[in-house]
Amino acid sequence: MSDFLSKFNKDKYNDLVDDKKTGSSEKEKPETNQQADLDNVQQGSLEGNSTNGVASTETRYSPTSGSRRIETTEEVEIDPTYQKKKRRKLLLTIIGALLAIVVIYFIYHNMVHVEVPDFTDQPVSEARSWAKDHKLELELTQEFSTEYEANRIFSQSITAGEKIRKGKTISIVSSKGPDPEEMLPLPDFSAMNRYEIESWIQENKANNISFISEYSDEIQEGEFIRLVFRDSSVTEAEYRRRDNATIYFSRGKEVFEKNITVPNFVGKSRAEVEQWAETNSIEMTYEEENSSSVDAETIMSQSVSPDEKVAKMDKMKVVVSLGRAIIVPNFGSLSMDEAMAQEDLMVTVKKQFHSQVPYGGLISQSISAGTKLTDKDSTNITVIYSEGRPYLKDFRGQLEGDLPSLFYDEYQSKGANIKYTVKVVDSSETKGTVVGMSKYNEFVPMNYTVEIRISNNKAQPPAQPEPPVTEEPTEEEPVDTDK
């Protein structure tokens, strides 16, 4: 551009002006001499006044020619700043062309490029929509993060504000939320208030911990009560972010309005009272007494008068009839036959040996004397009487196979630990027959072992003595059959 302007110096400019003048004069020059003379006059005038920058036009009459001649003189004003303006105009034209090129390039560049916004902490759906609108490919990667919520973008491959050509790929990284498998060391919640615990949960993204408030008579309102895991196998040392837990806080002592009217329970069944107490959340205490006039399971009295007002969780007491009571007698004053004759009781009488209680004496009874039995109690009672000291019987002649049942029935079932040992001896008695005992037919201690001798049938039977000879009676002498 500078080379182009340098060609426009003062001489070039004057030549251009002269050429322009000459060209215009030639177009206007007539073929007559008069016009030629006029041009000469104009040229002289122009040269004479060029120093002043003014051209003038004059009309003259010639007296010698016999005719009128018109002489015209033109005055031309020359602008001394013309060359400067010409260079400025050319410069502006070049600058305008360059600016047009720049604008066209800028428009084209903006048409095929797009500025990348800042997607930080924006949802993935917004980035997808933007990429689709601007014809870009979106590459998504997900990672765990405790700083950003799930499906929120926290990293992008193209810095915000930079431009990317359409059709290219932009990579973003979004959050999968906090890692559910991460183990979290739990603080001592009992030493923290609810605000501190909520702050800890928010900071550690332990969103599976919830709160429940419950009434407590012992713990002040707002204080920590307990921590409960839904999975009983989870411990505080093994807690992971995915585990569900509940923290219980106290609501203080619950205060109820006394707006429950107490009915008259006397004469009503215990079941009715239990239903009323459960429906109205009343802590009912039941005392039981026997009565010969009030049927069993019927209310005899109540601690709160009828029509009085009580509130939920208030305490009441009613007395329930046990019906007519059966007083258990002292069976020590009764014989075995009298014990079995009791009509109101189901008495079972047993006999046992006893080294100190004499025969017929009471050893024990399953229900103590003086006990009151009502309809809800069992009337079965076992009474044990003494057979005195054990008496060892004579078992000679019995078979060995019968001894176990004999010793059990006679002694062991009655509390006496009487046992036996077997000794096989030569005998002509049938094999297996008891032929002897170390002791028999006498009293023995409660713990005693007797020796039983059993025949092996290997001995010869003893010789039978000959019967005595008796004289036959004569016919004269009658026979005395009584002898």
pLDDT by residue (tens digit) across 339-351? Answer: 888 888 899 999 9
pLDDT by residue (tens digit) across 354-393? Answer: 989 999 899 999 999 988 888 778 889 999 999 999 999 9
pLDDT by residue (tens digit) across 78-88? Answer: 777 888 888 88
The pLDDT of residue 269: 92
Q: For the chain, give the percent of residues with pLDDT over 90.
A: 39
pLDDT by residue (tens digit) across 99-129? Answer: 888 888 677 666 667 888 888 888 999 888 8
The pLDDT of residue 36: 46
Q: How confident is the model at residue 158 (pLDDT cuts 50, 70, 90)?
A: confident
- Cβ neighbour number for residue 92 with a 10 Å cutoff: 10
Average pLDDT over residues 207-230: 91
Q: How confident is the model at residue 159 (pLDDT cuts 50, 70, 90)?
A: confident
Average pLDDT over residues 314-329: 88
pLDDT by residue (tens digit) across 161-194? Answer: 888 888 788 888 998 889 999 999 999 999 999 8
The pLDDT of residue 277: 94
Considering the entire predicted model, what is its pTM?
0.38
